Structure 1
């Protein structure tokens, strides 16, 4: 059973769409990960993040891809890297993370409704 939250709790999580501009190896990470730069549009801007998505994605596959991220968490230090957003995905049942994204083009920075 999952814990219940209120609608106001849900609204407090700022989930936006962004486009991956850069994807690079992150050899200093404890678990295999990439360093990403994601454009969340004019209001949010370009943010950096670390994502453990190396099992299903190559860096070249990520460039230009729309992704979904939580943009209002505080920055988090991951080794020598400061992660500014949390990119969202689902475990595929084998421990690999599959990114979620909109099914169609949407404006960068659009908020999950």
Structure 2
């Protein structure tokens, strides 16, 4: 009976470990335009989130690329708004590209 119970527990743990694995999540905190916000990227689902005290948004991800000691994530914020390029690494940052040709970059940690 004990062997059967241990076998059942082992099989259940194996099934759950593959199914319940947490997504690989990258996070950084950025400060710009007098606000502080967190940017997180879920590698498995390829989703980028922007969270502050007042706004919680999900942005489209176009491409990702391993670069140096980190990951570059490029995408769009709204269909006609602007693009972003985020770097999750030892010196994290985010850069916004606007339709008028201007850009802004903010250091993150």
TM-score by length of 2: 0.29
Higher normalized contact order (CA 8 Å, seq sep 6+, divided by chain length): 1
TM-score by length of 1: 0.28
Larger strand share, 1 or 2: 2
